[in-house]
Each structure stands twice: as structure tokens, then as C-alpha cells.
Amino acid sequence: MSKPMNSSQIPKRTFDAVIVGGGGAGLRAALQLSQANLKVALISKVFPTRSHTVSAQGGITAALANVSDDNWHWHMYDTVKGSDYLGDQDAIEFMCRNAASAVYELEHMGLPFSRLENGKIYQRPFGGQSQNYGGEQAIRTCAAADRTGHALLHTLYQRNIAARTQFFDEFFALDLIRDDEGTVLGVVAVEIETGEASLFESRATLLATGGACRIFRHSTNAHINTGDGLGMVLRAGLPLEDMEFWQFHPTGIPEVGSLISEGVRGEGGYLVNKDGEKFMQRYAPNALDLASRDVVARAIAQEIRAGKGCGEHGDYVHLKIEHLGAEKIMARLPGIRELSMQFAGADPITDPIPVTPTAHYMMGGIPTNMHGQVVSPVRYGPEEPTPGLYAVGECACVSVHGANRLGGNSLLDLVVFGRAAGQHVIEYLRENPYPRPLPQEKVDQVMARLARWDKPKGTETVAGLRDEMQRIMQDHCGVYRTEALLKEGLAMLDKVEARLPDAALSDHSKMFNTARLEALELENLMAIARATLVSALARTESRGAHTREDFPKRDDDRWLRHTLYFQQDDQLDYKPVRLKPLTVDTFQPKERTY
């Protein structure tokens, strides 16, 4: 077995700021920093336009009032309610108040939004949107056909080309370097093509590594969504927040997982069971098919359980849009039609699309404040910033999505907090102009982690263990949960995790060794799966996407608080929800119906 390389052997690159992740959040933050003439490196394990933001379909939510009467206060109310009151109201106010300017900014950058007859940005209705604090359906989601994520990601990448951002494409970040006082001093990353590690030293490090739904067997997420930033944070001794909350999107294509946008229902599509019944009227008599995602996902799961699912195994329901007509489907939902034909064998112009609840989005993540600073309980309070460390986007938990994210709020989160964090990094760098000494032994630890995979022989494979973990999470931590199920899942995960040290690669090459990457990704996934099960087991209530059959009610007295999970001894801690907004009055928790 080869010895860990001495850190002095790995080259060092120095930047003012390093961003890890080239999706919407990372690119938006990078743009802010590049335009401020700072020396910024953007590290991404894939070429940036391959990031998962590209798969976002339906749109980005902002109360532009281009179609229906609207304002950000209503958007804020809907988001707080959608979060099942677990969202932090100061951050939610910040996001909703800045939504319109963020969308206009994207338009000015060149994003090819679809247009209304009057030339303004096209908006469509989405789930959980209302006028007047719970009244009529609002029409709030701004769209570029049903490829809004593609449009947004490419536009931001293009702006970064113009701003001459320095990209390190196909570099895989391994770990943060954090000194004994807790300051983050950069990351160690491997250049995938050469297999060589280097140290990216920087006074500010921003994680924008996206989600981690690949802990589940079926998910809408790209293969690359392995939560690498979350693994890095856990290994640095910092907590993760609200990891029990994973959104199951009501409409994924069975088995394959590909997302069928909520925009389909926004444009007038509806769900039916095997009897052809529009069953949503029994679950959400007012909002019907445009209830919140957690509500619709549970409704579908109930129908399937009651034997009312479609198909041979009765394990999905149908989403119908034939009545919209070919012309509207081609104009507004061309990507959906393509996906449905490719992966479900159904042309929605004539046939219903088979759909089933599918893991889609991680509401939890790296705890941050609304400036993107990573916060944790240290000495004086539950939310002390970690010097030099930021997180933005799906990997972060601000928390604006609380227990359940509203559709269209994810792309918004990326750009609003990407910009805010970029802005804060600029100030932070001004106040912290000096580099700090780098602890060599920390770099050596990272190199040892990498060298572990040089082990010549083992009894387990990465693919085998990953498959087992994904099945455990799928079967034990899905839409419906119970103590018994979660406990069993955790016991099974314990065993799989215990076998991880016995895994070895058969490919020990250096150049573009994707097997090694998958091994490193599995370490991150495994840690996140554990955080999820432990957090879910402890929360003995049902809130948003976390549905405990043994505790079917929301319990605000005990559980109106955020979970914090630490890797060491699976320790849990809690912190209060920030109920006080910045300027407006608190939306007091009340019963949530649609």
C-alpha cells in the first residue's frame, strides 16, 4: 500500500475566493466576485453546463404580476406555509422581496424567457401559489418553455465567460482545509484528467455542490448529485441541518426517475387513478392538482396503496394533458413531451404520462444565514459564522424551504443567495486581507483519504455497496416513515457502512479514473444517508415532506425547530426557527390545508 503523499508535494494555487460547484448558485456567486475584479476560481467536477440546474424545467418564481395580481408578500406567505412553518421567515422575506429584481437581472443577462403577448416575461401557475394570503391561485412562475433550468444555467455560464471567470473544469473537491481555530483556508481538489491533487488556498471558500438525491434508488437527480459539499462539511466537524426533509416530487417517471414538471399541472394537466378518477379533489378540494408537492405526493402514494394505481403492478398514476391540444403542448411543454416519449414510451398529445412520487430535492443541508455564511453552534449561540466558509443553493439550508419546498423557489434560491453570498464574500475579503498559516497535517489527512483507495484488494465493490445503500434508503426512508422502518433501515445501513473499509477498486490508474471518483462520492452519500436516517428517526411528528405514520400530526410545541446533525457519534442538536421576518409581521403557524 502506498504511503500518503507529503503535502509539500502537492502544488498550491492561491485565490481570493474559491467556489466549489458550477451550477446556478456557484455561477451566480462567481459572477458577483469576478465582476468585483477578485481573483476567483470555480472548481467543478463536470463542465459547468452539465450541472444539475440544467434539468430544472417549470420555472423560477417571482411576483412580477405579469399575469395575475401579485406581490412579494403573498409569495412570502405561500413559501412560509409551503415550508410547513419550518422555514426561517427572515430569509424567506429576503428571498421573496429580491425575487423580481433577480429575475429581471437574468432577463437583462439574456435569459430567453418565454413571452406574453405584451412582450413581458411569461408566467405560469405552480403548486402552492395564492393571491391574498391563501386566496385565488396566483400565476407566478417565470418560464423559458419547460427548459428554464437549461436557459438559466447556460445564461449564467455565458455571463461568466464574458466576466472571464477562471474555471477549473473537471476538478473534484476532496475536503476543506480548516485550521484549529475553525477558519476555512481552502480546499484540496483532484484534477480528474491527470489524477493529481492540488491545494486551492483562499480566504473564502463557497460550496455550491448541489443536492444528494442519489442516496435513493429512484430519484429525479443526475448521477453527479452525490452531496460532495455535505460530506466535506461533516468531515470538517460541522453539522447538517434538517436532513430528514427530502422532497418527493409527485410526478417522476416510474423506475427511470426523470422529472415531469409541475408546470404540466400548471398548464392544466391533472392526475387520475386507474378508475379515471380525478382523485386530487378528495385530498385538496381547493387547490386540487396544484396543492403543495408533499400533499400531492402523499395523495398519489395513498391511491397506489389503496390499489388504485395504474399498470400491471398498480404502482403509478396517470398525468393527463391531451386536452391541452398539440399546439400548446409543443409550445409550452416540448421538453416534457420529449422525456415522456423517450422514457415512458408515451406521447402526451395522445396518451397519459405514467408518474409516481420520486425523490427530488433536499430541503436540508449545510446550515447558513441569509448571507450564505455557514453557521453552527460554537460558543455563544446556535448560529455563529464559520470564518471563510459559505454555502449556497441546494447544498445549503438557509432555510427558505423548511419542511417542503415550493416549485419554482429552487432556481430563485440559487440566484438570490448566490448574489447575496457573492456580495458578502467581497466584504469579508476586504475585512480579512491576510492569508493565514496552512496546517500541513490537515492536507496530509486529505491525501490519506485519497490514498485509501489505492488499496490493492478488497472483498466489496463500490457499485455493490452503493446499490445496497440506495435500496435501504428507498425502502426505509420514503414518503411514509415509521419508527420501526427507520430503525431497521439504520441497522441495515450500519452493516453496509461497516463494509465500506473492505471495498477496493480494481482500477488504480490516475488519469480520468471515474471509478475512484465514484468511490469518493459513495463516502459522501453514505454519510448523508446516515444523517438522514438519524434525523428522521428523532423527529416524532409529521411536517411537510417528513411524514411519520406513527406521529401523524405536526407538533409545534415540541418540533417547531431545526435539527442539527453532527457526524461524531451521530449527535443531534436543535435550534429555533427564525419566526421574525426582516420588516413585516410573523406568519404565525396554523393548520395547513390546500
Partner 1 sequence: MRFRIYRYDPESGAAPTVQEYELDFDPKGKKVLDALIAIKDTLDESLSFRRSCREGVCGSDGVNVNGTNVLACVTPLEGLKQPIEIRPLPRLGVIRDLIVDMAQFYQHYRAVKPYLINLDPEPENERLQSPEERAELDGLWECILCACCTTSCPSFWWNPDKFLGPAALLQGYRFIADTRDQSTNERLDFLEDPYRLFRCHGIMNCVEVCPKGLNPTAAIGKIKSLLVKRAL
In the bound state with partner 1, the residue whose beta carbon lies nearer, of 256 and 582, is: 256
Nearer to partner 1, 338 or 555 (CB): 338
Residue recorded with cell 491525501: 447
Instruction: Report if residue 2 touches partner 1, rule: CB under 8 A.
Output: no
Told to check if 506 binds partner 1 by CB under 8 A, we report yes
Residues 6+ apart with CB under 8 A from 412: 60, 61, 62, 95, 99, 102, 103
Grid look-up 423527529 returns: 539
- Which residue stretch of 10-18, 123-131, 150-158, 488-496 sits at the interface with partner 1 (rule: CB under 8 A)? 150-158
Asked if 52 is part of the footprint of partner 1 (rule: CB under 8 A), the reply reads yes
Binds partner 1 (CB under 8 A): choice among 113, 171, 246, 390: 113
Dig out the grid coordinates for 97 from the structure. 422581496
- Contact between 209 and partner 1 by CB under 8 A: the answer reads no
CA-wise closest residue to 232 among 250, 249, 209: 209
Segment near partner 1 (CB under 8 A), from 179-187, 219-227, 366-374, 410-418? 219-227
Q: Is 210 left (phi over 0), alpha (psi -120 to 50) or beta?
A: left
Buried b (16+ CB within 10 A) or exposed e, 220-234: bbbebbbbbbbbbbb
* For helices 148-162 and 99-109, angle between their N-to-C axes, nearest 10 degrees: 70
Site for partner 1 in 375-404 (CB under 8 A): none
Among the listed ranges 80-88, 200-208, 220-228, 232-240, the one in contact with partner 1 (CB under 8 A) is: 220-228
**Out of 36, 67, 109, 572, the residue judged to bind partner 1 by CB under 8 A:** 109
- Check residue 51 for interaction with partner 1 (CB under 8 A): yes
Based on the shown chain and the rule CB under 8 A, indicate whether residue 514 belongs to the binding site for partner 1.
yes
Select the residue interacting with partner 1 from 40, 42, 63, 151 (CB under 8 A): 151
Binding segment (CB under 8 A) for partner 1, from list 149-157, 397-405, 409-417, 567-575 = 149-157
Whole-Å CA distances, 19 to 15, 24, 199: 10, 12, 13
Pairwise CA distance, residues 286 & 136, whole Å: 9
Among 378, 463, 491, 582, binds partner 1 (CB under 8 A): 463
Q: Which of 75, 81, 124, 150 binds partner 1 (CB under 8 A)?
A: 150
Residue 359 · residue 250 · CB < 8 Å: no
Amino acid letter, residue 121: I
Distance (Å, whole) CA 484 – CA 536:
12
Q: How distant, in Å, are the alpha carbons of 230, 448, 500, 531, 548 from that of 494?
A: 19, 23, 10, 12, 22
Q: Check residue 302 for interaction with partner 1 (CB under 8 A).
A: no
Task: Give the residue, chosen from 32, 44, 61, 114, that forms a contact with partner 1 under the rule CB under 8 A.
Answer: 114
Residue 55 within binding range of partner 1, rule CB under 8 A:
yes
Q: Please, is 124 exposed, middle or buried when counting C-beta atoms within 10 Å of its C-beta (0-12, 13-18, 19+)?
A: buried
Contact (Cβ atoms closer than 8 angstroms) between residue 204 and residue 18: yes
- Would you state the cell numbers that stand for residue 367, as one nine-digit string? 446550515
Residue 361 is a binding residue for partner 1 (CB under 8 A): no
Grid cell digits, residue 270: 391533472
Smallest separation (angstroms) from partner 1 to the CB of 510:
7
When binding is defined by CB under 8 A, the residue of 37, 281, 440, 509 that contacts partner 1 is 509
Decide the pairing of beta strands 353-362 and 317-320.
Answer: antiparallel
Kindly tell me which residue out of 505, 520, 529, 534 binds partner 1, with binding defined by CB under 8 A.
Answer: 505
The Cα–Cα gap between 86 and 360 comes to 19
Amino acid at 527: A
For position 193 contacting partner 1 by CB under 8 A, the verdict is yes
Among 38, 188, 339, 406, binds partner 1 (CB under 8 A): 339
Instruction: Give the residue numbers marked as catalytic.
Output: 293
- Our finding on whether 159 is near partner 1 (CB under 8 A) is yes
- Report the residue number, 83 or 123, with the smaller CB distance to partner 1: 123
Q: How many CA atoms, within 13 angstroms, populate the side-chain half-sphere of residue 8?
A: 0
CB of 50 within 8 A of CB of 224?
A: yes
Binding residue count for partner 1, defined by CB under 8 A:
61
Among 512, 549, 555, 586, which residue sits at the site for partner 1 (rule: CB under 8 A)?
512
- Binding of partner 1 by 457 (CB under 8 A): no
Task: Answer yes or no whether residue 258 interacts with partner 1 by CB under 8 A.
Answer: yes
- Give the residue, chosen from 12, 13, 39, 120, that forms a contact with partner 1 under the rule CB under 8 A: 120
32-40, 157-165, 346-354, 547-555 -> range binding partner 1 (CB under 8 A): 157-165
State the residues that interact with partner 1 by CB under 8 A. 46-47, 49-52, 54-55, 64, 103-104, 107-110, 112-121, 144, 147, 150-151, 154, 158-159, 161-162, 193, 222-224, 255-256, 258, 335, 338-339, 342-343, 345, 461-463, 467, 505-507, 509-515
